[in-house]
Each structure stands twice: as structure tokens, then as C-alpha cells.
Amino acid sequence: MKKTRLVLRLSLSGAIIFLVLVCVQSVITPIKFEQAREFRSQAVIKKLSYIRTAEEEYFLVTGRYTADLDSLLYFLKNTPKREILKEGSLTEKQLEAGLTEHKAARIIRDAKEKAKKELQTDNDSILYDYIYANDKDVIENGLVGFKRDTIIENMIDMIYKGALDETTIDDIIIIPYTKGQRFEAEVNNDYVTSNGSKIPLLEVRAHFNTFLGDLDKQERFNLIDKETKLDHYPGLKIGSLDAPNKNAGNW
């Protein structure tokens, strides 16, 4: 009899411990999943932001977006970035007199070209000092101190400011926490708004099943089901093929 009671007590204790473990696990699993999802999402968002920057530069040069991520990488590696360095600005009086940015830049450019021939130098510092002190058009138009120079630099260095270089740029199209899986990209370069305006659209995305694929299956299913029922994309993305949204992210 005592032996039977002992067995029952041990069985009951075991069952209680098991139930406690199940309850603890049911609480811990969603917490761990959410922590991992948040951590991984930040890495995916960073990559999507890098791609958005690249696509917007591509658009500035070509007037279109591209769904071909290999072409996007080729563009970044082989297209120089032109940027205008500006010093000084036109006054209201100069603008009222008909002087524009374009005219002022042309006066400075012509003066520099003339000075180059006279001084036989390409040194910008020497050339600017000379034209500010000697060029009649520059002085009469009040452009002393006015600079407009176009510089040509490496595209990757210019737009990512050291965060990426040619050895790391290929990685931006790979979804983090996957075995080399790429982001999905789609474009609609012929989208027409209700008022007849043509606005190219871009969408780049990563489904939850990609970067959360090795996490708890049930928690992942619940997350995807929830987002789907809310009519949200079950993952992270930039842009939209449904309507212009300035390539905003859905996070």
C-alpha cells in the first residue's frame, strides 16, 4: 500500500513538474521568438535601406528603377558620382538683377578657364584667388567668394560614406540569416496615377520565412497569419507596387 502511494506521489510530482515546464516553455518561447525577430529585423532593415539608397541613385541617373539586383551592383561599382561643391550664395539684389545660379556658375567657370591659360596651372586655390582679384566679370557681378565645382567620386564611397566599400557591397542584396537568399525586387516603371502622372514604383522585400526560417515554426506561422489577416505583407519591405509611397519601409 505504501509502495503504491509512493508511486502515485512520484507520478503526480512528475506530472506537475512536466506541466510547469510546459507552462514555462509556453511563456518563454514567444518571448525568445520576439527577441530574435526584433534583432534579425534590424539587420534586414539596414540592408533594405542600403538597397533603397542604391535604387534612388540608379533612378537619378536612368529615370527608372531596376528589379535586377546584379545590374544594381554593377551600377554602383562602375558609375561615378557627380556632386557639386557649393560656397557662397546669390543675394536677393543679384537675383532681382537677373543673375541666376546657372549664369553665376558659368561666369566662374569661364573665368577659371581663362585663368588656367594665363597662369598655366590647375590648382583651384590659386585660380580662385586670381579670378577674385582680377577677373572683371567676377568682380562686377559680385561673385567674389562664389564657388561651384563639380567633383567626380566613387559612387559607393559617396553614397555610403564609408559604411560600405567595393569588398562589402555585394552583400547588400543578400537577406541576413539565410543561406545566401536574395531580396525579392519588383518594379513598375510605367505606373500612372489617377491624375495622369507617370511615377515609377519599386518594391524590395524579404518574407518572414526567409530570415526567421530556423526559428520556432508555430510562432512564425502565428506571425505570418496575423500580418496576412491584417492585409499586411508578412515580412519587411521598402516601397510598394500598389501606389507611390516614396519607397518607405513597412517597419
Where do the structural domains in the chain lie, given as residue ranges?
39-76+170-251, 89-145
Distance, first Cα to last Cα, the chain: 64
Whole-angstrom CA distances from 97 to 7, 60, 93 are 103, 32, 6
pLDDT of res. 37? 97
Report the pLDDT value the prediction gives residue 222, as an integer from 0 to 100: 96
Q: What is the dihedral of CA 70, 57, 154, 107, to 10 degrees?
A: 150
Could you count the other beta carbons within 10 Å of the beta carbon of residue 28? Answer: 10
What is d(CA 250, CA 45) in angstroms, rounded to the nearest whole number?
Answer: 10
Select from 146, 113, 114, 148 the least CA-distant residue to 132: 146
Alpha carbons within 13 A on the beta-carbon side of 40: 22
Which pLDDT score is estimated for 152?
83
Backbone angles phi, psi at 148, to 5 degrees: -145, 105
pLDDT in tens, the chain (251 residues): 666 665 556 566 666 665 555 555 555 889 999 999 999 999 999 999 999 999 999 999 999 999 999 999 999 999 998 888 888 999 999 999 899 999 999 999 999 999 999 999 989 899 999 999 999 999 999 999 999 888 888 999 999 999 999 999 999 999 999 999 999 999 999 999 888 889 999 999 999 999 999 999 999 999 999 999 999 999 999 999 999 999 999 99
pTM of the model: 0.73
The pLDDT of residue 82: 82
Pull the grid cell for residue 64: 527608372
